[in-house]
Amino acid sequence: MKGLVVLVTLACFASAQHQALIDYLERRLLAIEDRISLWHEQTTRYASELRELKQQMVSQLESLDKEKEALRLNLDSVGTRVDRVERELDYLETQNGAQPCVDVDDKLIEQQVTLVKEKQKTKYLKLTDCSDMISNIKAMKILKRVGGPKGMWTKDTSKASGKVYIFNGTAEDTIYEFATVQDFTRSTGMSLSTNLKLPSAWKGTGHVVHNNHVYYISQAEEISVVKYDMGTNSVTDSAVFPVQDHVPVYSLTPETLMDLAVDEEGLWAIYATKQNERHISLAKMDAKSLDIEQMWDTNCPRENAEAAFVICGTLYVVYNTKQPGRSRLQCVFDVNDMVTNEDAPLVYFPKRYGSHSSLKYNPQEQLLYAWDDGYQILYKLLMKKKLEI
C-alpha cells in the first residue's frame, strides 16, 4: 500500500514538472513570435522608406539631367556667340590699323636719319620686278603633329619640288626628308622619311632649303652659315657672318640667333646684335657665294617678336606675348621704301596651339610653313600690290 502511494506521488510530481516545462516553452515561443513580428514590421517600414528614397533620387536625377541639358544648350549658345565675336574682332583687326611698333626718341630719330642718308648712297638693286605684299591670311591648314614643341619644316623654295624637310628641335645634325606631303601626313612619326645627316649640328630654327641646298646656321665659336649640297652630300661653302656680339633675333624664340629667309629676290639673313640690341637687322646675301650684299637696321623691335619672313624685299615680323596668345604681323620693313608700318595692314593669325617657333615663306606657292608647338601648319596668303596701298 505504501509503495502505491509513493508511485502516485512520483507520478504527480513528474506531471507537474512536465507541465512547468511545457509552460516555459510556450512562453519562449510567444516571446520569439513577438520578436519576429517586430522584425517583420521594421523590415516592412524600412522597405517602404527605401522605396520612397529611391523615388526621390530618381526624381532628383531626372531634374539634374534636365538642368544639365539646359546648361549644355546655354554653353553651346555662348560658344557660338564667342566664335561670332572673335570673327568680328578678326574683321575689325584687319580693317583698323594699329600704332606702328616704333620707339620714338631723339636718339632713334638720329639713327634713322643717318640710315636714310646711307641708303641714298647705296640703293638696293632689285633682282626681280616683284611688288607683292601681304593683304591678309586666306586660309589655314593643320597637317599633323610630329616632333618637339620647337622646330622648322619647309620645301625647296627655288622650284616646284614635292619633297618636305623636317628640322626637329633647335640643336641637331639630322634632317628628315619626305618624298611628298602625302607621305609626310600619313607617316607614323618619321617612319616614311629619309635621314640626311649633316657634317655639323644646326642651331635654332633659322634654316632654309634652296636650289637643292640646305642653308643652315651653325654655332661653334662664331655664328656661321653653312651651304650643304644634298646632291653630292657635301659642304660646298660656309661663311662666318661678319657681325660681332650676336643676340637672339626674337625675344620669344631665344634659340634662334639668326634666321635665314628666301623670297623672290633670293637669300636673306635676319639677325640682331648688341650694338642695335632693341631692333632687328636685315642683310641680303648671295646664295651662291654667301657674301653679304647689303645690310639694314630696321625699326622692328626684338621684344615680343617670335618669328619673321621676307616677301619681295619686305621683312614681316610676327609678334606674340610671353603667355602665348594670338600672333600678329605688326611690323614691316621694306628695303625699297615702298611699304611702311602706317600703310601695311595689321594681320592676325588664326587661333593656334601656342607660339610659332618658325615661319618659312615659299615664293613658289605663296604659302607660309609654320611650326607651332609641334604642329605643322600651312598658311595661305592673300596678296596685293605694293603700289596699290
What integer pLDDT is reported at residue 350 of this predicted model?
87
What integer pLDDT is reported at residue 361 of this predicted model?
96
Whether the per-residue pLDDT at 177 is higher than 50: the answer is yes
Give 323-329 contacts, CB < 8 A, sequence gap 24+. Answer: 324/354, 324/355, 326/351, 326/352, 327/352, 327/355, 327/356, 328/93, 329/134
**For residue range 329-362, what is the model confidence (pLDDT) as tens digits?**
999 999 988 888 877 888 899 877 788 999 999 9
Rounded to two decimals, the pTM is 0.70
Whether the per-residue pLDDT at 82 is higher than 70: the answer is no
Whether the per-residue pLDDT at 91 is higher than 60: the answer is no
CATH of domain 103-388: 2.120.10
Whether the per-residue pLDDT at 260 is higher than 80: the answer is yes
CB 257 within 8 A of CB 306: no
Of 293, 291, 244, 292, which Cα lies nearest the Cα of 272? Answer: 244
- List the grid coordinates of 43: 523590415
Whether the per-residue pLDDT at 388 is higher than 70: the answer is no
CA 243 to chain centre: 32
Any idea how long the chain is? 389
What is the domain partition of the chain in residue ranges? 1-96, 103-388
For residues 194-207, average pLDDT: 93
Taking 3-state DSSP, the helix, strand and coil percentages for the chain, each rounded to the nearest 5, stand at 30, 35, 35
Alpha-carbon gap, residue 66 to 165, rounded angstroms: 53
Alpha-carbon gap, residue 257 to 240, rounded angstroms: 13
Other CB atoms within a 10 A radius of the CB of residue 371 amount to 27
CB 233 within 8 A of CB 251: no
**For residue range 297-312, what is the model confidence (pLDDT) as tens digits?**
999 999 999 999 999 9
Of 237, 238, 206, 195, which Cα lies nearest the Cα of 220? Answer: 238
Cβ neighbourhood burial of 108 (10 Å; 0-12, 13-18, 19+)? middle
Alpha-carbon gap, residue 275 to 273, rounded angstroms: 5
CB 181 within 8 A of CB 143: yes
Percent of the chain with pLDDT over 90: 51
What integer pLDDT is reported at residue 389 of this predicted model?
43
Helices in 96-203 by DSSP H: which ranges? 106-121, 181-186
SS3 349: coil
What integer pLDDT is reported at residue 354 of this predicted model?
80
Beta bridge partners of residue 315, listed in sequence order = 310, 333
For residues 210-225, average pLDDT: 90
